[in-house]
A and B are shown apart, each in its own frame.
Chain A
Amino acid sequence: MSAVLANALNPMGSPAAGVVIDCRLDKIFYGDFLAVRDSHVPIQKGQITGFIGPSGCGKSTVLRSLNRMNDLVRGFRFDGHVHFHGQDVYGANVDPVVVRRYIGMVFQQPNPFAMSIYDNVAFGLKLNRFKGDMDERVEKALRKAAIWDEVKDKLKNSGLSLSGGQQQRLCIARAIATEPSVVLMDEPCSALDPIATRKIEELMLELKTKYTIALVTHNMQQATRVADKTAFFSVDISKGGRTGYLVELGDTRQIFEDPREELTKQYISGEFS
């Protein structure tokens, strides 16, 4: 089964060139609750795809479906498919653990482990039984996450001893240490101050040269600053439930300057939130 995803490194056979993750989520349920419907979001290689929309519209749900994080939630099921380099992520013989090794994730709350800064970054490398120069890889990841200078003298200190912004950059370093091909970020800056936020945005722009990024953000300015493509989600309360769905997806500039949908126009102009 790992061969299936090892194939993923070879982009041959993907349906549309440049699409790394092709996700067609017709329905996502938590138990009986229909959380998301009709969301088709292709994630383009080497780009940042931003997900925006009011809270509760299912941005996190969609994002977490891409690397099977939702498998942890009891009662999660969905109709549709998620293809990663043309391979079915939810295929019968695919282990979710393998999926998550190729599609990394950064969460809304910084969540470093209660271990040293070094061990936090080395964690994924050790999982993958990396045999090379561990120190070098750890340093590289910390440098790329723009936190090396701040922690290079205290790599043995606990990851929990850092400030919130530093913790989040540590978590980014941890996620990219193994060089996954896609990094999913779920509101990575929501717990951070504006300065730390800026640092992480610069980092994302830097990272996209090498990785593909899907970014959920609460902050529309952030989407305009970093996202190449933007997907706008909204909530449909017409049928009694609260079901999120994809309203519009396009180049970020088009979404913000010339939205096709009335709903998008209202949202970006701040008429509702």
Chain B
Amino acid sequence: MNMFEQARSADSVSGPPSKGDYFFDRAFQWLAKAFAWAILAVVAALLLEVGSKAIPAIKDYHIGFLTSTTWDANKDQFGILPEIWGTLYSSFLALIIAGFFGVMMAIFLTQDFLPPRLAAIFRIIVELLAAIPSVVYGLWGIFVVIPAIRPLANWLNETFGMIPFFSTSLSGPGMLPAALVLAIMVLPTIAAVSQDALRLVPYRIKEAAYGLGATRWEAILRVMLPTASTGIFGALVLGFGRALGETMALAMLVGNSNQISLSLFSPANTLAALLALNFPEAGETEVKVLMYAALVLMLITLAVNVAGTAIMTMTNKQAGGGR
């Protein structure tokens, strides 16, 4: 049965894998495939479920739902443009803040600024930020962040009121406190994934940079970051995706007001907050409409991730296909 049996010398231990080895090999392959498909199936089922429940509302409100700005359950008028704007704007602001600090943190923790043990401790602390419940962030935002930034916000409004970003005063919940807290919430994701990306840069690339006489910052900015850029970009996409869907803290902090404003201090609303706050008391029509809104949120998140992945694949190809 083993056709190489005759090739075997007296002391040789060479032989084919046993039946059991083959069994485990197959079983493992099968299991891995099954899980991969299961994940796809769950996503598809979710989309289908939400999509089918949203169909009546899609029929009634068409695409105008996305461009209308009123939400009035009594008059059966629904539109989510302010929420789409608020979702994208808050996530974008959070991405800028968390992107900057997250990548800086990743640099700080991976490029030998700290003794290894201290770096490990810092890493754990940053990761702990991800373990804090969303509602705690919301409370912290209300009781700490808003009072803390209010004086500065109002000073900016009074002094630079003609700049659109500062065109209103901050009375309480609003875009900036929401974006700040959101930034802290997605920071661990961005920092952790960026750290992985930087750590994946081969040591010899770092040596090459220093060997040419680069200073530490030249090596980091001109070599380490560009080499890790695909991974860091992935970290930003992931962080942006998380920010888009964040619900509780935003529902508490964003102000839940249907308006579209560039002002950092004006109250606003996001899709996730809209869903969380309106579902409990929604009537029959409103539930369908909310399903439509949920579908839109899912599609935005999906689009961001697909676009991100596409860009990463493209830049990877340009870079000569990996390292």
A97 to chain B, nearest CB (A): 5
One of B208, B213, B226, B318 near A127 (C-beta < 8 A): B213
Residues A115 and B226 in contact, CB atoms below 8 Å apart:
yes
Q: What is the total number of residues of chain A having a CB less than 8 Å from a CB of chain B?
A: 31
Interface residue count on the B side (C-beta < 8 Å): 26
B226 touches A69 (CB 8 A): no
**Stretch of A26-34, A102-110, A223-231 contacting B (4+ beta carbons < 8 Å):** A102-110
Cβ-based interface call for A6 (8 A): no
Indicate if B59 sits at the interface (CB-CB under 8 A).
no
Q: Which of B202, B212, B227, B318 contacts A175 (CB 8 A)?
A: B212
Given A158-B320, A160-B323, A174-B212: A123 in contact with B226 (beta carbons within 8 A): no
List, in ascending order, chain B residues with CB within 8 A of A174's CB: 208, 212
Taking the complex as formed, is A113 at the interface, i.e. its CB lies under 8 A from any CB of chain B?
yes
Q: Is the CB of A111 within 8 A of B215?
A: no
A100 contacts B by Cβ under 8 Å: yes
Whole-angstrom distance between the Cβ of A43 and the nearest chain B Cβ: 17
A159 to B223, CA, bound (A): 13
> Could you give, for residues 279-322 of chain B, a 1 whenever the CB lies within 8 Å of some chain A CB and a 0 otherwise?
00000000000000000000000000000000000000011111
CB of A124 within 8 A of chain B? Answer: yes
Question: Would you list which residues of chain A between 48 and 104 have a CB under 8 Å from chain B?
Answer: 67, 69, 72, 74, 97-101, 104
- Taking a contact as CB atoms closer than 8 A, the residue among B210, B212, B215, B321 that contacts A160 in the complex is B321
Contacts of B202 in A (CB 8 A): 111
Q: How far is the CA of A69 from the CA of B222 in the complex (A)?
A: 19
Q: Are A111 and B214 touching (Cβ within 8 A)?
A: no
Contact B222 A123 (CB under 8 A): yes
Q: What is the CA–CA distance of A114 and B213 in the complex, to the nearest angstrom?
A: 18
Q: Does A171 contact B (CB under 8 A)?
A: yes
B8 at the interface (CB under 8 A from A): no
For A99, the closest partner residue in chain B by CB is: B213
A111-B320 CB under 8 A given contacts A97-B213, A127-B213, A127-B218: no
Residue B144 interfacial (CB < 8 Å): no
**Are A69 and B227 interface neighbours, CB within 8 A?**
no
Partner of A104, one of B112, B211, B223: B211
With A109-B204, A158-B319 as contacts: A127 and B212 at CB distance below 8 Å? yes
Near A by CB (< 8 A), chain B positions 209-251 give 209-215, 218, 222-223, 226-227
Chain A residues 188 to 239 lying within 8 A of chain B, measured CB to CB, are: none
Q: Which residues of A contact B112 (CB under 8 A)?
A: 72, 74
CB–CB A124/B213 < 8 A: yes
Which of A67, A100, A161 has the most chain B CB atoms inside 10 A of its CB? A100
Q: Which of B116, B206, B213 contacts A101 (CB 8 A)?
A: B213
C-alpha gap A112/B223 in the complex (Å) = 10
Expressed in whole angstroms, the Cα–Cα distance for A159 and B320 within the complex equals: 8
B205 within 8 A of A: yes
CB pair B320 A160 closer than 8 Å: yes
Bound together, the chains give a CA A128 to CA B222 distance in angstroms of 14
Are A72 and B205 in contact (CB-based, < 8 A)? no
For A125, give the chain B residue with the smallest CB separation: B212
Contact A111 B212 (CB under 8 A): no
Residues of B within 8 A of A105 (CB): 211
Report whether B323 and A97 are in contact in the complex, using a CB–CB cutoff of 8 Å: no
**A72 with B210: CB separation less than 8 A:** yes
Q: Does B207 contact A (CB under 8 A)?
A: yes
Q: Which residue of A lies closest to B228 (CB)?
A: A114
- Specify which of A98, A112, A157, A171 is in contact with B213 (CB 8 Å cutoff): A98
Q: Known pairs A111-B202, A113-B205, A171-B208; list 6 more (Cβ under 8 Å).
A: A97-B213, A101-B212, A107-B207, A111-B208, A113-B226, A160-B323
* Contacts from A to B (Cβ < 8 Å): 67, 69, 72, 74, 97-101, 104-105, 107, 109, 111-115, 123-124, 127-128, 157-161, 171, 174-175, 178
Where the two chains meet, the residues of B that have a C-beta atom closer than 8 Å to any C-beta of A are 112, 116, 202, 204-215, 218, 222-223, 226-227, 318-323
Can you identify 23 A-B contacts, CB atoms within 8 angstroms? A67-B211, A69-B211, A72-B207, A74-B116, A98-B213, A101-B213, A105-B211, A107-B207, A107-B211, A111-B202, A113-B208, A113-B226, A114-B227, A114-B320, A115-B226, A123-B222, A124-B212, A158-B319, A160-B321, A160-B323, A161-B321, A171-B208, A178-B213
